[in-house]
Amino acid sequence: MSAARLTIDLDAIAANWRQLDRLNRGETAATIKADAYGLGAGAVARRLASEGVRTFFVALAEEGAVIRQAVGSGPRIFVFSGHMEGDAQLLRNLDLIPLLNSAEQFVRHAEALPRHPFGVQLDTGMNRLGMERAEWSAVREMAETAGPELVMSHLACADEPEHLMNDQQHETFLDMTAGLACPRSLAATGGILLGPNYHFDLARPGIGLYGGAPFVDARPVATLSLPVIQVRDVEPGETVGYGCSWVAKRQTRLATVAAGYADGLLRSLSNKAKLWAGDTACPVVGRVSMDLITADITDLAEEPEALDILGPHQGIDALAEFAGTIGYEILTSLGQRYRRRYTGARS
C-alpha cells in the first residue's frame, strides 16, 4: 500500500494526562478541540474518559457531537466559542455548556436556553475572546444569580514562565473573579507547569496531552511512517525536485516517499527536515511537493520500505522547528490520506 501510516498511541496520551493531573491541584480536564489536535477526537475522548476525565473542552458546538457520542451522557463538554447564533439546538440536544464571551452571548443564551448550563470566559489581557472588565461588571450580578458552571480566562504567555504577562493576567483574573462562588479556571498545559497559583479549581491541558511543548516530559504520541515508492541514484551535479533547489555534491542514493503538503507536511520543510530509518537520519533533499518527498539514503546499509517523519527521534516540536512553526500546526495539519492506527484503545 502506498498510503502513509499514522500511528497514534492512546496509552501515551493517557499517560501524559496522568502526569499533568499529578501536577495539578484541582480537577484536570482535557482540551480536545480541532479533532483532538488532528489525532481523532472520538478515539482520544473515549480513552481519556476511561482514565477518569469528566470534563472536555471543544472550540465549536459542532465539535461537541463527536465527543458526546464517544463519552456518553455523563461528562461535561464546554464550548470555547460560547453561544453563537443558531447554536441553541445543538447546545440543548447534546448537553453542551457554552462559555459566554460577551454580553450579547449572555443575552442570547438567557433568552434561548434560560435554564441551560453555561460558563463565562473573561478577557484578562489577551484581547482575543472573553468579556472585558466593564462588560463583565454589567452582567456579573445576573450571571452569578443564574449560577455559572465555570468562569475562566486564558494565559497569553504561559509557555514563557518568566514573562511578566503571566503575573499580570493572574492578578487581573483574581480581581475580576473576587467573591465568586463558582469554580474558576486559568491554566491550560503551560499554566499547570507555572505552578499551583495558576491552577484554581480546574485546568484544561491541550497540547501537553499530545506530546507537545512546553510539557517537556510528555511522551511522544504520534508516529508517521512514509512508504518508499522509488529508489534511484544521482550523480554529482544533478538536481532534485521542483526548482532544482538541491544539487548533489556526491554520488547519492535517493528514496522518494508517498507524502507531501497535501498530507499536511509543510513546504517549509524542504531541504531542512530529516526522515528516519531506525536510528539513522536521512536529510530531505529538494522541495516538498504535493504528494512526494525525497530523502538522501546514501548512508543506509539497505533500502528501507518506509521512513519516519514523526517518531521517537523527531517529535512534533523538532519537526516544527525545521518548518519555522509550532507543534500545534504540525499536528493539526495532518491530512486525511493516512492509514490511521490506534494503539492502547479500551472498549
CA angle 183, 186, 188 (to 5 degrees): 120
Tell me if residue 46 falls in helix, strand or coil: helix
Using a 10 angstrom Cβ sphere, with 0-12 exposed, 13-18 middle and 19 or more buried, the burial of residue 141 is exposed
Q: Which of the following is catalytic: 33, 261, 274, 328?
A: 33
Q: Which of the following is catalytic: 37, 198, 210, 242?
A: 242
Catalytic site includes residue 272 = no
Residue 328's nearest CA partner among 5, 64, 39 is 39
Residue 67's nearest CA partner among 91, 89, 45, 94 is 45
Starting at the edge strand found earlier in the chain, the sheet holding 184-185 runs: 30-31, 55-58, 76-79, 97-100, 119-121, 151-152, 184-185
CA angle 283, 287, 293 (to 5 degrees): 60
Distance CA 3, CA 258 (A): 7
The letter for the amino acid at 294 is T
| CA end-to-end span of the chain | 28
Which residue has cell 481519556?
48
Phi-psi region of 95 (alpha: psi -120 to 50; beta: other; left: phi over 0): left
Q: Which residues contact 230 (CB under 8 A, 6 or more apart)?
A: 255, 256
Q: Enter the C-alpha cell of residue 93.
A: 440536544
- The answer to whether the Cα torsion of 67, 121, 14, 314 is positive or negative is positive
- The full DSSP string for 131-188 is B-HHHHHHHHHHHHHH--S-EE---SSTTSTT-HHHHHHHHHHHHHTTT--S-EE--S
Catalytic site includes residue 33 = yes
Using a 10 angstrom Cβ sphere, with 0-12 exposed, 13-18 middle and 19 or more buried, the burial of residue 179 is exposed
The letter for the amino acid at 242 is Y
> Which residues belong to the active site?
33, 242
